[in-house]
Amino acid sequence: MVMRKILFIPILLAVIAIISFSVLTPSTTENPTLSIVEPIDFDTVPIRIGTIGDSATKLIIRFQPTANYLAEHLSDEQTQYSGKVVIAKTIDSMITLLNNNELDIFVESPFTTVTIMEHTEITPSLIRWKQNSQSYHTVFLSLIDSNITSISDSTIETWIFETKESTSGYLLPLAYMSEQGIFSSSNGKKQNFIFSGEDENTPVWLIEKKGDVGVMSNLDFEALPVSIKNKLQIIDQTMDVSRHVVSINSKLDFTLTEKISEILINMENDPQGVKIMSDFKNTKKYSEFDSLEIDTIKKMLDSIPIGIQN
């Protein structure tokens, strides 16, 4: 009788163990969770807006609301549009896209726009008031305790630019320097160009004395921390150029082109449009673009000696 009781205990424990075991033992395979992907709406007409940049992810996310807004407002009972953002990594890629009619609206800085214009059929139509500014210019900076007070200073050996693609950080100051005869009056003295990669880096490099003069847009300079700004002085500045230019592919239907311009210009009157613009790098509004600026920029670009620009 006692032995039966003794044997009963391990049997009971074994039963508990088996139950616990079956509860605790996990399945070795996780079934994939399938989700339904929304089918592509093949009945819509894409309205494609694009720019040039390295970070497609960042730019697509930034441009997509505007593309959607345009699509929504272009759509009518006959035609449904869908907004699509196309990013090209290089100017050449963008030229190809435009020539292949794979892009409808091109948004870029004036200098890049002029460069693209020379190889494609686009029409600069609107100014995008990026960062609440219709236009901007480049300022030339030196250290506040430096003896360099002019870009003509002969002691300047090294210039700090942003990137070769940047308008305010390279092309605009380069053209201005050319106009000011910096390259012709250097008396054979070699000018060193270094590139900081980001506009925030330029003042830091200047303070670290990696170069003698740095360039950046007046808007970026104003945004610098006071502690940094106080260490710098503006020794010169370029002419103003439009902040951002919206060009439309000339192959696009004229009515559609007109409608696109109208929608963008009227965005400032629509709370939804204002919100989208605000999120789009503090765009204040879209306004008409003065085509005369194209010629001015072309002249500036042409003034840059061959061999320096690239």
DSSP codes joined into one string, 188-222: TPPPEEEE-SSTTHHHHHHHTTS-SEEEEEHHHHH
3 forms part of the interface with another protein (CB under 8 A): yes
Q: Applying CB under 8 A, which of residues 46, 60, 143, 274 lies at the interface with another protein?
A: 60
Closest CA to 48 of 113, 107, 96, 119: 107
305 forms part of the interface with another protein (CB under 8 A): no
3-state secondary structure of 100: coil
Tell me how far, at minimum, the Cβ of 53 lies from another protein, in Å: 9
Which of 86, 232 has the CB closer to another protein? 86
Binding to another protein (CB under 8 A): which residues in 85-104? 85, 87, 89
3-state secondary structure of 268: helix
57 forms part of the interface with another protein (CB under 8 A): yes
Confirm if 151 and 236 have CB atoms less than 8 A apart.
Answer: yes
Tokens of 231: 């260490």
Tell me how far, at minimum, the Cβ of 48 lies from another protein, in Å: 13
163 forms part of the interface with another protein (CB under 8 A): no
Which of 1, 306 has the CB closer to another protein? 1
Draw the binding track, 9-48, toward another protein (x: CB under 8 A; -: no contact): xx--xx--x--xx--xxx-xxx-xxxx-x-----------
Maximum distance among all Cα pairs of the chain, rounded to whole angstroms? 117
Q: How far is CA 270 from CA 70, 240, 276, in A?
A: 13, 29, 10
Instruction: Report the interface residues with another protein, using CB under 8 A.
Output: 2-3, 6, 9-10, 13-14, 17, 20-21, 24-26, 28-30, 32-35, 37, 54-57, 60-61, 64, 85, 87, 89
